[in-house]
Structure 1
């Protein structure tokens, strides 16, 4: 399952997201869209997980506060 994660801090890294999502199951991949100039996050990214773990992560993390922002988490 591919999961969209929006409203991320520009300081968020793939490691941060991986650590957050691994609580719900195996994380297959994480990609945060980078700003071409600064290299920091553009504020959104994608996490890939198995379907059951992904569904649980979405239900638990949508609208959750992470790095001082409320994330938007949903299936792509």
Structure 2
């Protein structure tokens, strides 16, 4: 298991600091980042938290997964590595040209 967690279905009001604060109840938080849109700066509704140890990460999953934050039931699970070959969408030069 990894100590890096995916946190989904976040309310748009959640910030890096509030995310860190929520997870710090379960152990040391190495990093907390809410993902934002590059152009607007608005939250994308998900983020990543890295806990100090795997045990702390599991404790945070057990304690926070499914909990309500500002009326939204958040999802907390172990972050999976990005799949090889996945571009994540977006613009690619020359895409669709024949």
Q: How big is the shift at 1:37?
A: 2.9
CA contact (8 A) 1:63 1:72 kept: yes
- The reply on whether 1:67 has 2:70 as its aligned counterpart is yes
Q: Name the residue aligned to 2:7.
A: 5
Flag as ranges the 4+ runs of structure 1 deviating above 3 A.
Answer: none
Q: How big is the shift at 1:43?
A: 0.5
TM-score normalised to structure 2 length: 0.74
SS at match of 1:24: coil
More relative contact order, 1 or 2 (CA 8 Å, 6+ apart): 1
Higher helix share: 1
Gaps of 5+ in 2: 80-98
Q: CA RMSD in A?
A: 0.9
Gaps of 5+ in 1: none
TM-score normalised to structure 1 length: 0.94
Paired residues, what number?
76
